[in-house]
Homo-oligomer: A and B are copies of this chain.
Amino acid sequence: MPVGTLGTVKALDPEDLQRSGVEMVLANTYHLFLRPGDDVVRELGGLHRFMAWDGPILTDSGGFQVFSLEGLRSVDEDGVEFRSHIDGSRRRFTPESVMRIQRNLGADVIMQFDHVIPGQSDVTASREASERSIRWLERCLAEVRASEATGHRSQATGSAESRVTSHESPQALFPIVQGGIHPQLRKDAARVITGMSDWHGVAIGGLSVGESKPDMYAMLELLHPELPADRPRYLMGVGFPEDLIEAVRRGVDLFDCVAPTRMGRNGTAFSSTGRLNIKRADFRTDPRPIDEACDCAACRRFSRAYLRHLYISDEILGLRLLSLHNVHFLVSLMRGARAAIQAGTIDSWASEWLDRLASGPEPQT
């Protein structure tokens, strides 16, 4: 899932996403709550119509964002009080309020509100946060069930002209398995959570936040047999091509990361032989596309020389084309992973890709 923080995947048009084969996007509850406001999105017919994206949308719970507001928030059992990064105003998230906000936004998949802690927290802090996250999950689930029972649904009705299909099916609540890099905490959380409900999917949180790669892989491996085999597993906040490959071979189905668009806006392009810095001096007259193996709308039409020129000249089109290429690259990579799984060749596919990515692009001349 490319990340559409504020209801737009930065620098890209929904059409760019569709044509790159993107099936699902993520949007951020914290950011949309502050601007334009979940009430505004609701009034305009929900997030699908607002951002003209007819495919599935997942909204996060805002937990990661508010816990990142170091010094601007206080936590208790009820929820989190924080100050808006925009205007400093005092706000409060609780499991219940976050469910209501996500209902207003109207995504297809909504995330539980969880207690997020730093990546290398000790076992005591990790246990407390994991257990609180599970108590909050119970409150999220109760809130969702209560609102479904009373027939509340995310979309405003009839307030805005129908530009895209409105989505009236119930929202799928995903729980988040926490527990840091502590095997027993992870197992305990997985067992309690999977016992609570027949979830549509399960998320794995608190990884890719500063721990070592072997620690992350170990957590994925021990969770593999603990999670339902027939439901998607979503590894939050990951990642780069190498991370996606390593996680897919350990059973993960769904990812989100700002990397493809953020790196694109910073002038870095993924390629099948590693990353390219588009600013490289020797690209000044390079007629080749970013990646000869890529068929994205940037690589089909434009040279490295042109993209370098756009980037150096601060031209907006350059930001869009590099973002588009990077998103297309990751989606194509995951399409390849799916085909390899179906063909029973995921391990050799993964090894080949990791070798190729590690070989690096041609050196600067």
Q: Which residues of A approach B to under 8 Å, CB–CB?
A: 6-8, 10-15, 35-36, 40, 43-45, 50-52, 159-161, 163-164, 284-285, 287-288, 297, 300-303, 305-306, 309-310, 312-313, 315-320
Contacts and interface: CB of A to CB of B under 8 A. Distances in A.
Closest A-B pairs by Cβ, 3 of them: A160-B287, A52-B301, A11-B316
A309 B7 contact: yes
A313 B35 contact: yes
B287 A40 contact: no
A8 B317 contact: yes
27 contacts: A8-B310, A8-B315, A8-B318, A10-B315, A11-B316, A11-B317, A13-B317, A15-B297, A35-B309, A35-B313, A36-B305, A40-B284, A40-B285, A40-B309, A44-B285, A44-B303, A44-B305, A44-B306, A50-B305, A52-B306, A160-B287, A160-B303, A163-B302, A164-B301, A316-B319, A316-B320, A320-B320
A152 B14 CA distance: 45
A116 to B, nearest CB: 24
Nearest to A39: B285
A170 B347 CA distance: 58
Contacts of A51: 306
A310 B303 CA distance: 30
Nearest to A37: B284
Given A301-B52, A301-B163, A309 B36 contact: yes
A40 B315 CA distance: 18
B43 A285 contact: yes
Contacts of A320: 13, 316, 320
A217 B342 CA distance: 70
